[in-house]
Structure 1
């Protein structure tokens, strides 16, 4: 068994017999991606600690989306028109991409998988646009998790299309009341709990004591989530994704969600790299690329306090 455990990429069966890909890195970190939704459902560090939150009540039953991990919201984030909320990419079966165009990846790194989604005739009835959506999920040598999406307009009829997008990442946290988000201070946000009214964040780190559902616009490329109790900091780096959604449903919403435990809101926080405020428009032949890189690092302490600046200024 020992040798097979080191295979960097393995295709196997997951919950309810759904196919999944397991990525493993030599130092012991791992990630799991379901072909259903191209959905990352697990990301563990070298000690085997789970870094993503997946609800104990999550449905692994198509056509329902999986609650937790990293759902991909495309071609829309949120809920408008005839499309399902957060689009359909997270409820489609993706294929392994056997002929991906080249992407810069360090040659020493073998732990990655390329997936692809193209529309079926049925899909075209719901969203009548030709596209190729390629996703590469990479587990880096230090256990960092990278998701690179490339969406191309493959239309032959000369029609552009527009979309919004998010990596709807659910981070696992010890206790939401002990968590701070750094890097969004003084940034404008649209508050989904107040009809998308625009406000400006105060100059302090974001902390949580009630439901939060905000779209921060024109955000920095780096955001940090500090988990005081676990002495862990998540660092999110993003390219091509100007916005960041911060979401926690709190107690009342949690109880109303069938696929979410009543108290699970205490142990999760969504900070989502997104392109929401200004939709992306692609003309035929054009391609958009959006990348998110996640790392988990031990928090630095400075006279008993977390020192987020060192994290944000570091690499």
Structure 2
């Protein structure tokens, strides 16, 4: 078995990725899910619910779930699709990507099963390459159509980010964009604020989002920079206090230290013809915040060449 791999007591496998500078990530074969990402100072960068269940059949509340073939609650499929509820395998042939650097990269694959075909009748291969490097976590998802007919799907990487205090966080890069508000029956609005700040529940799908978004944590003097390709939407979600109390696998106060800013192809599903492959890319990187009049200089975050 490649890399540092640990078998947990419930039989699930956990892969430990490390880089020479000291950062690390933990990936479960269950869900193909990153459940921990620490920087070189061993600081946790991803949120994990205090009530998260890390074994089947429940999806894991926190880390970085993979949402496929849908995002949301539609039809007979479970919410956000079934990929996050399945046991993945090591991908022994990730071509056309080059061979992995074993210490810092893992390649995983999920193939359609007979049970999956009963609820979503399309044959597919879903691949993930997960890589860490100093200050950066990169995920490359790929979906191949192995069915004789074309199909369409939604895809999202749900990023549960750990923040010091949600009321002290701002998100830059989504200003002036149109969004669908899931709290108002997906009605369409235009973002009016210079930056998104948080004082209540939010659940929005931003349309035509840029390739680069900044999540600024004032208290930690740290910015998480999200770069994405192939996924034109960005989802911003925090349940706030009332909704958090209604979520069974979430602690009542967990909402204060978490924020989801997701990469996705949600509004317009991706259409794949037989034997075609779709490829996306997401990078999360840590940037030390530089302050200007008490605020981050947006030119450095949004346009700087990091």
Band of TM-score, shorter chain: over 0.9
Q: Pairwise mapping of residues 98-247 of structure 1 onto structure 2 (< 5 A)?
A: 98-103=92-97, 110-140=103-133, 142-155=134-147, 157=148, 159-247=149-237
2:3, 2:198 → 1: CA distance? 38
1:139, 1:230 → 2: CA distance? 22
SS at match of 2:35: strand
Q: Pairwise mapping of residues 1-315 of structure 1 onto structure 2 (< 5 A)?
A: 9-14=3-8, 16-103=10-97, 110-140=103-133, 142-155=134-147, 157=148, 159-315=149-305
Tell me by how many angstroms 1:304 deviates.
Answer: 3.3
CA separation of 1:203/1:252 partners in 2, compared to 1, >3 Å: closer, same or farther? closer
CA separation of 1:109/1:294 partners in 2, compared to 1, >3 Å: closer, same or farther? farther
Tell me by how many angstroms 1:123 deviates.
Answer: 1.3
Tell me by how many angstroms 1:83 deviates.
Answer: 0.4
2:295, 2:136 → 1: CA distance? 25
1:196, 1:12 → 2: CA distance? 42
Deviations 1:23-74 (A, max 9, x none): 0000100001100000100000000000000011001120100000000000
Q: TM-score, normalised by structure 1?
A: 0.93
Tell me by how many angstroms 1:120 deviates.
Answer: 1.2
Q: TM-score, normalised by structure 2?
A: 0.96
SS at match of 2:255: helix
2:43, 2:194 → 1: CA distance? 30
Tell me by how many angstroms 1:298 deviates.
Answer: 1.0
Q: Which structure 2 segments of 5+ residues have no match?
A: none
1:47, 1:101 → 2: CA distance? 34
Tell me by how many angstroms 1:104 deviates.
Answer: 5.1
Tell me by how many angstroms 1:110 deviates.
Answer: 4.3
Q: How many residues align?
A: 304
SS at match of 1:145: strand
Q: Which structure 1 segments of 5+ residues have no match?
A: 1-7
Residue 5 of structure 1 is matched in structure 2 by none
Tell me by how many angstroms 1:100 deviates.
Answer: 1.4
2:135, 2:228 → 1: CA distance? 17
CA contact (8 A) 1:25 1:143 kept: no
Tell me by how many angstroms 1:194 deviates.
Answer: 0.3
Tell me by how many angstroms 1:203 deviates.
Answer: 4.1
SS at match of 1:271: strand
Runs of 4+ in 1 over 6 A off after TM superposition: none
